[in-house]
């Protein structure tokens, strides 16, 4: 594979959204302060998702799908933090 195809913005965006998803189970096994730190990490991962969505070609009909996943995971992170307090 070419490096340009491996480092495609949409592929990196899906990878970052997957990292947000992987952080979710860890939030249930830690205390509240550590859970807030994990939610903060997931929150800061979402910012590059939006930039990568803008770098994806406009002809791609699902170019903002990783961003939707990222926002959904952030909402879940926030709800878990609020429910544990």
60: which 2 tokens? Answer: 């791609």
Give the pLDDT confidence score for residue 3 in this predicted structure. Answer: 65
Give the pLDDT confidence score for residue 10 in this predicted structure. Answer: 85
Considering only CA atoms, which of 77, 79, 5, 85 is closest in space to residue 44?
Answer: 77
**Cα Rg for the chain, rounded, in angstroms?**
14
pLDDT averaged over consecutive 10-residue blocks of the chain (85 residues)?
73 90 87 86 88 84 88 90 79
- The pTM score is 0.82
So where are the chain's domains? Answer: 3-84
């Amino acid at each position: 594979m070419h490096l340009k195809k491996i480092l495609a913005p949409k592929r990196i965006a899906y990878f970052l959204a997957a990292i947000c998803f992987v952080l979710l189970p860890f939030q249930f096994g830690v205390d509240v302060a550590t859970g807030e730190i994990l939610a903060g990490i997931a929150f800061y991962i979402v910012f590059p998702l939006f930039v990568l969505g803008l770098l994806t070609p406009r002809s791609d009909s699902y170019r903002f799908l990783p961003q939707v996943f990222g926002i959904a995971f952030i909402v879940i992170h926030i709800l878990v933090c609020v429910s544990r307090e």
